[in-house]
Structure formats: C-alpha cells, structure tokens
Structure 1
Amino acid sequence: MATGRSLQLHLLVLLSASISLVWLVVAVWTWVDASHEVDELMDGHLAQAAAILVVQPLELTDDAVADAPVLHRYGARVAFQVFHEGALVMRSSNVGEEPLSKERDGFDTVRYGGESWRVFATRGAESDVQVYVGEQVDSRNDIVLAMLRGMLLPMALAFPLLVYVLWWAVHRALIPLRVLGDTLGQRKPDALNPVVLPETPREMQPLVAELNELLLRIERMLASERRFTADAAHELRTPIAAIRAQAQVALGAVGNKPERDLALNTTVAGCDRAAHIVDQLLALSRLEAGQTEAVTQNVDLSAVAQQVTADLAPTALARKQDLSLEADKDCMVAAHAVWLTMLIRNLVDNALRYSPDSARVLVRVGRSASGRVVLDVHDSGPGMVGADIERLGERFFRVLGHVQTGSGLGWSIVRRIAEATGAQVAVRPSVLLGGLHVQIEWPDLRK
C-alpha cells in the first residue's frame, strides 16, 4: 500500500513555520520600534549634553583649544565642539577643528571623518558661542542589536524545545485517530455494529457518525442480499420441482403424444413462471438496496400507462376481459420510466390475473382537485377484505382461495417504487366496478 504524507508531520511543519513567521514579524517590528525609541533617547542625551556645555563659562583665550579626555571605552563614539566667535575653543579628542555640522541649530545626520554622526547644534548663552554635540550612528545600531540579541537569542535556543513540545501536543491530539484506526483494525470482517469510541472529540464526531451510517447501509445491503437469496431459494423451489416432475412425465409418456405435449407445455409454463419470479426478485432486490436510478427527467405517466395496457391487452382478450384506459394529458411524474412501467404493469397484471373471465379493468390517469397526478386501477373482481388489504406489500403474501399463479412479490415492488418516487398508495373497494380500487398519487411538478 502506498503511504501518504504524515498528518502529524504536516501539522508540526505548519505550526513551526507559523511560529517562525510570527517571530520574524515580531523581530522586525521590535527592530523598528527599538530604533525609534533609541534615537529619541540618544537625541535627548545629545540635547542635554549640549545644554550642559552651553552653561559652562569660557575661561580660555581664543588661541588655546582644550581637548576633553576620553573617560569611557565608548567615549570615542561621542564628540563635542565649542566655537567662540567662529574659533574652536573646546573639543573632544576624537574630532578635528572642522565643525561637525553646517547647521547652527537642531539635529542633523552627517558624514564626518568617514563615519556617520548624529549631531545636535545650538547657540550658547552668548550669540557668538556655537556648540556641537555628536554621536556615531553605529553606536545606536549596536544598542538596538544588543536588545534584539537579548530577546531573539533565548527564543532561538528555545526553538528546538518548542518544536518538541509541539510534536508532543500534536501526537497527543491525534491519539483519537489512532484509537479509531486500531479499533477498526481489530474488528472482525463481519462486524457491522456501530463504532463506539470513549470521549470522541467534537471534530471527530461527524467522521464516526458517517462511518456508522456507512456500516448501517452495508448491513442493510447484506441483509437485503441474504433475503434475496432466501427468497429466491424459497420461491424457485416450487417451479423447479414442478418442471422436474413434468420432465419425468414427458420422459415416461412414450407413444402418448397428448400426454407428452401437455407435460412439455406445463414445463414451459413452469420455466416462464420461474423466469418471472427471478425478474421480480431482482427488481425487488435492487429497490431494497437503494439502487433505483436517479431521477433525471420528468416522465409522462399517461404515455407509460398507454404502453403497459397495450402490452397486456392480449392477456385480457384471451380471457375475454375488458381492459380500458382513460388518460389526461400533461401528467408528468418525476421518476424513471422503467420503474413506472414496472409499477403499472404489476397493478394491471394483478387486476387481470385475480379477476374472473369477462371482468372489467379500468385504468385512469389524471389530476386530483389539488393538482396531484393520480393513477387509478379499478377491477370488477372479488375484491379484498380489510385484513388482507393491510397485508398487501408483505413478501409472498397471497390471498387464500385464488387458483391463479403468482409470487406474492408484485405488491412489494409497487410499494417500494412508490416510496422511491414520493408517491402515496391507497387501496379500497371500487365504487365504480365493485372489485378493488388502487390509487397512487404523485406530487404536482408544476408548483
């Protein structure tokens, strides 16, 4: 079996990548924010240092320059200059005599001595005094980098631990899926009972519910197949035994042509009955298994009824029965023509079969007062009592006392087709002909 990608690994990669991306966004945002805050802080220090220089008295002569000593290892990155009447009178040792900036007042970023400097310029207490205080821009960057390093380095060192914690969390979260797989793997092939998991997570409940629904459908399908096998064995036993008996009669009827012909004709009739039973069983099996063909078209019920009555007309004529059809136009039903044909054929065939010779059978197709499409089948046969009507649709149920052959499956097929096509079935005594009246109604497609 080909192995697909690991869900656990996929989740771990996604979570790790998401966290890394968030960390990267946080680092960029921190860099921008920290740079702004450091610039504000350092600019404030420059302005404060300039203010201190401004209030200091100038006691030097114009031809003397005082170099301030460097008292800290970062002192070389900070510089200042004091000019009096355009002449340099005080400076730090890390700058020359050229002014740090051309500006006279405010902040400026300049290149000086091959380095970038942030310079604050202001005038002294006297208008002829000019003060410059500067700081290398790299020192500010170093401060920001130190802040980021202090924040990101622990996060980077903790990342492997975080990945392990994520793996453990994902592994724990997927335990119900592994439990489900183990439970299914330990079930017997014929076990179709619902799957029950202790404390099923809410996200897995639809999956388990659909799985149980699938098992239920499989159980119904298998039960239908078992019933089909049992029905076939039960119903075919009688015609097969009759065929065998008639074949033996035909073999023994040496020189007796009439007896042999009767036996052979009876054998052919038995084969026809067996074939009819097989067709009915197959149709019922497909209906119970839910294998009805999808409704993809609207079918004219009148046309189907006309075709069925035309096919069964020779059977009615052979027994001198009156088979008539009254059909309105525009009686469309949402169903498949094959199933409608089977439904009408079973109803009309039953009416002809169980009605006496010279009886009447009336088939009507029309619309009710509410607009529903209605199929009515009346006959002048003996009818049925209420108890027998209630049992119509049970497999192999046949009213006692009838000599006509039958399998007892026709009504089961009728009810299953009606259910599949959304129709309602009613059976009552026929007011028109005195026998049985079967009425089937379908929804109005025009609404």
Structure 2
Amino acid sequence: MSIKKQLITLIISAVMLASFFSALYGYKNTVKQLDLIFDQELHSIATFVLNMSKSNQVLPSTADGVFAFQVFKNGKLVSKSEQMPNSKFNASSKYNNEVFFGGKRWKTYLLKEVNTEKDTIEVLVAQPMSSRIESAESILFVITTPLLFALPFIALIVFYIINKSLKPLVSLSQQLKNKNTDDLSEVSLTKPPIELAPVLNRLNQLFVRLSDSFDREKQLTANTAHELRTPISVLKINAHNIQKSFENNKLTNEEFTELQQNVDRMAHVIEQIIALYRFTPENFTQKTETVDLEVVLQDVIGSNFDLLSAHQQNIALDTDSKNSLLGNYFALYTLFENLLKNAIKYSGNKSEIKLTITHESNSITVSVEDSGPGMSNEELPKIYERFYRVDSQHSHIKGSGLGLSIVKHITTLHNGEISCSRSSLGGLCVTVTFPNILVGVE
C-alpha cells in the first residue's frame, strides 16, 4: 500500500472517528441538559396544577399527550388527566422515577404540600420518555447533519493536500524507477521540501561517488591491463631467452639480473595500483589523525637512503617548528615517497635534492626540488595523468607512470593543491600545499 493511500485512509478515518466521538459526546451532554430542562418543566407544571387545585379551579381531564397528572387530597384521587390510571403510583419528589402505563414509559415527579387546614395535597406529573428521546435525537440530527455534509469536502481537501505534499516524493520515486542500471546521473526536484532536501542531496552525492568510482575502476582496469602487458611480454621473452641459454649451456648472470629487474618493475606497478585503489574518499576520512610532516619526511628519506647512496645524491631537509596537520600517515608517506623516488630517478647521479616545509598563516607547504634536467612547460600539465610518462630525455628510465597520479589523488583527499615549476636547483620543483584548516599545531 502506498504512503499516499495510507495517509489518506488514516487521516479520513481519524476525522470520521473524531466526528463520531464529538457527536456522541455532544449527544450525551445534550441529553443531560435536556433532562434538566424537562425536569424543571415537570416541576413548573406540578406547581401550576397544585395552585389550581388549591384555588378549587377545574382542571382539564384531557391533555395533548405530552404531560399527564394526578391530584390526590388526603390520599384520595380528586382529579387526573385522561391518560393517567386511577391508582396511585409509588412516586417520590425525585426526578428519576419512571413508570409504565398506557403503553408508554413515563417519567414522574411528585409535588406534596400540606395546607393550613392540615390537608395533604399531592400532585403527580408525568411526561413520556419518548418526548425526551425525540427531542434529543432532533438536536443530534441538527448537530451531525453539517458534519455529514462536511466529511466529503474534508476528504477532498485531505486528498488535495496529501497529493500536493507528496508530489516531490512521487516525482523522486518515478525518476529512480525510470533509471536503468547504468544511469548514475543526478536526480532533481523543483523546490524540494525541507525534509526531502537532505535525502536528495545525499542521494545525488551517492550517485556522484558511484559514478566516479565506476569511472575510476573502468579507467584503472583498462590502463592497468595496458601497462601490465609490456612487463608480462618482457618476462616471457626473458623466460624464453633463459630457456634457450640453458639448452645451449650459455646461461649468464646478466640474464638473471635482467629477469629480476623486470620482475621488480612489474611488482612496482602492482604496488602502485594497489596504493591508488586504497586511498579512496570512502575509506580515507575514517583513518585521519594528527601527522607530523617532518617525521613523515624523515621516514621517507631513511627508507630510501640506500637508493640515494647508489645514485651518489645529496639530500637536505629544511623545516620549521609548525609542521603538523590532520591526515593519514600512510597516505602522506606514500605521497612524499613517490615524489622523492621521482626526484631520485629523474635527477640523475650526483644530483642535489632538497625537501622544504614552510608554514604560513593560511597554509602549510612541502616542496621537493632536484637539480636534474627538469621538464618542459608543455609536459608539466600532463604529468598527473595515470600511466603518463615523459618520452624525451627520460624515455630510457623505466616506471609505471602512476606516481604523480597517486600524489595528486592523495593531495586532493587532504584538500590540498599540487603544482610543478622550475626548481631553484635547476630541475623540477613539486609543491604540495595544505590549507590552514587542516593544520594540527599552531
């Protein structure tokens, strides 16, 4: 059952029940008030009959059927209306006495008085109960008739209001229903209600994240397959060459060294792909902490010191006292390790590498510089693309082309910015800037 039908059914049912109980309550109060009025009327008629009897006036023996009376003097019936029997009822001066005669139920009232001659005069007045019930029912009819006529209009108003209020929800439901499995476009509503706006925003955010995730997976899958094709082919060639050399008893250490290098290259590509997949917006925010960038850079330098020594490169680390931010240690370590390895790889032997941390009022910046040949202005915008590699003076250097793509991705997760320029040392300078809102230590 739809929400619209449920709301309409519940509201109309509630209105009908409220109207019913209101009419019932009104009927009970009306009957109560009518009883008081009729009781007072019985008292007035009894007083009137008593006064006429005392003045010896002749009372009519017939009545219109609405009231009946008996008059007793010293216990003897002296006058009565036509409907009343000759016998005396066992009545009291209270209003709650009911008797049955003439085929009707009557409510009686007894008025007794002793005159100066010590004669006891009793007047018994009776009224049919049907008169009271008919009066109450006529009033109830007057009360409920407007409600009965108003209920259809109330139902129409309820239907209109609910239909109009649920129109955005129905529109959203229809848009989602019409979407196919490949459609991750955002849904939109004209002037969505306040209660539905957060749902719409979250839903669109989910669609954007899913779309980005699917695009990322498709691109990564296609590019990974393309990138792994070369090292796999090279490994096949190495395996073939080793087999031939083994058959000819001409195996050399160089062939195993080349095989090891190609295996390392393939392992590096796979490691980079895993790192790129690990740092996604979905799982990053749950792993943030206060990170000291100086400690991160020291760990990165220590882990790659053997590689620096092998290339006979000098490295310097320049920091200030304010270098902490809110982030993920492993992600930042991966970021700066990629930058340092690129500097080691592309700056050449006996080069200079410099890491600098600077803190300003609204940002904290880390720059990685080298004294290598650098890059042309045409190549700088492309270096962040996945699997892009420079094809000029660095074409002889093996790599996956994923390093700076991972660097930019991690920087974005930290709400930072990355830029490349010419280094003061003559090579490439990569600058990563984090906003002040993430600075953990002032």
Do structure 1's residue 256 and structure 2's residue 250 form an aligned pair? yes
- 3-state SS of paired residue (2:397): coil
Kindly provide the CA deviation profile for residues 241-270 of structure 1, in whole angstroms up to 9, marking residues without a partner as x.
32233333333333434xx32222112111
Deviations 1:205-254 (A, max 9, x none): 87677656544443332222221122112222222232233333333333
Match of 1:349 in 2: 341
Question: For residues 317 and 95 of structure 1, what CA distance do their matches in structure 2 show?
Answer: 137
| Structure 1: segments with no counterpart, 5+ residues | 103-107
Aligned residue identity for 1:422: N
Report Cα offsets for 1:398-421 as digits up to 9, x if no partner.
Answer: 333113222222111111111111
For 1:18, the equivalent position in structure 2 comes to 14
Cα offset, 1:275, TM superposition: 1.7
Summarize the alignment of residues 405-444 of structure 1 with structure 2, pairs less than 5 Å apart: 405-431=398-424, 433-442=425-434, 443-444=438-439
Match of 1:42 among 26, 30, 38: 38
Residue number among 251, 255, 261 corresponding to 1:269 in the alignment: 261
Partner secondary structure for residue 347 of structure 2: coil
Aligned residues: 423
From 97, 105, 115, give the equivalent of 1:111: 97
Partner of 1:445: 440
CA distance in 2, matches of 1:18, 1:88: 58
Q: 2:269·2:400 contact (CA, 8 Å) conserved in 1?
A: yes
Going from structure 1 to structure 2, the CA distance change for 1:406 and 1:134 (only over 3 Å counts) comes to same
Shift of 1:386: 3.8
CA distance in 1, matches of 2:167, 2:417: 49
Q: Are 1:425 and 1:441, in contact at CA under 8 Å, matched by a contact in 2?
A: yes
Shift of 1:361: 1.7
Distance 2:9 2:296 in 1: 62
1:140 aligns to 2:135 (yes or no): no
SS at match of 2:286: coil
Distance 2:299 2:192 in 1: 57
Matched, 1:319 2:311: yes
**2:219 is equivalent to residue 227 of structure 1:** yes
Q: Gapped runs of 5+ residues in structure 2?
A: none
2:369 corresponds to which residue?
378
Q: CA contact under 8 A between 1:376 and 1:439: conserved in structure 2?
A: yes
> Is the contact between residue 60 and residue 89 of structure 1 (CA under 8 Å) also seen in structure 2?
no
* Shift in alpha-carbon separation, 1:176–1:429, aligned structure 2, 3 A: closer
TM-score for both structures, normalised by structure 2: 0.73
Cα distance, 1:436 vs. partner? 3.0
* Residue 401 (str. 1) matches residue 393 (str. 2): yes
Quick one: structure 1 residues 320 and 176, their matched pair in 2 at CA, closer, same or farther if it must change by over 3 Å? closer
| Paired residue secondary structure (1:292) | helix
* Distance in 1 of aligned mates of 2:21 and 2:127: 30
Q: 1:168/1:120 Cα in 2 relative to 1: closer, same or farther (>3 Å)?
A: farther
Identical amino acids, percent of aligned pairs: 27
State the match for 2:228 in structure 1. 236
Give the equivalent residue in structure 2 for 1:105.
Answer: none
Report how far residue 299 of structure 1 moved. Answer: 2.6
Change over 3 Å in CA distance of 1:53–1:201 after alignment to 2:
farther
Larger mean CA deviation between 32-41 and 137-146 belongs to 137-146
Question: Aligned pair in 2 of structure 1 residues 309, 120: CA closer, same or farther (>3 Å)?
Answer: farther
Instruction: Tell me by how many angstroms 1:359 deviates.
Output: 1.6
1:316 and 1:174 map into 2 onto residues whose CA distance is 67
Matched, 1:337 2:333: no
* 1:427–1:119 Cα change, 3 Å: farther
Q: Tell me by how many angstroms 1:345 deviates.
A: 0.8
Partner deviation per Cα, 1:376-405 (whole Å, 9 max, x = no partner):
323222333444333331223333311322
Change (3 A) 1:385 1:310: same
Following the alignment from structure 2 to structure 1, what is the Cα–Cα distance between the partners of residues 219 and 298? 34
Among 27, 52, 56, the alignment partner of 1:31 is 27
Q: Is the 8 Å Cα contact of residues 224 and 289 (structure 1) preserved in structure 2? A: no
2:382 matched to which residue of 1? Answer: 391
- Compute the RMSD of aligned alpha carbons: 4.9
Is the contact between residue 322 and residue 359 of structure 2 (CA under 8 Å) also seen in structure 1? no
Distance (Å, rounded) in 2 between the aligned partners of 1:143 and 1:215 = 68
Inter-partner Cα distance in structure 2 for 1:371 and 1:212 = 32
Assess if the C-alpha contact under 8 Å between 1:109 and 1:116 holds in 2.
Answer: no
Task: In structure 1, give the amino acid aligned to 2:420.
Answer: V
Instruction: Answer yes or no: is the 8 Å Cα contact 1:324–1:363 preserved in 2.
Output: yes
Give the secondary structure class of the aligned counterpart of 1:109: coil
Distance 1:441 1:16 in 2: 62
Contact 2:39/2:95 (8 A) holds in 1: no
Tell me if the contact between 2:369 and 2:423 (Cα under 8 Å) persists in the aligned partners: yes
Q: Which of 20-29 and 42-51 deviates more?
A: 42-51
Distance 1:100 1:341 in 2: 105
Return the alpha-carbon distance in structure 2 between the equivalents of residues 118 and 395 of structure 1.
104
Whether the aligned pair in 2 keeps the contact of 1:100 and 1:134 (CA below 8 Å) is no
What are the Cα deviations for residues 122-147 of structure 1, in whole angstroms up to 9, with x where unaligned?
Answer: 99xx9x99877554677535643565
Higher relative contact order (CA 8 A, sep 6+): 2
- Helix, strand or coil: the match of 1:34? helix
The question of whether the paired residues in 1 share the 8 Å contact of 2:291 and 2:324 is answered with: yes
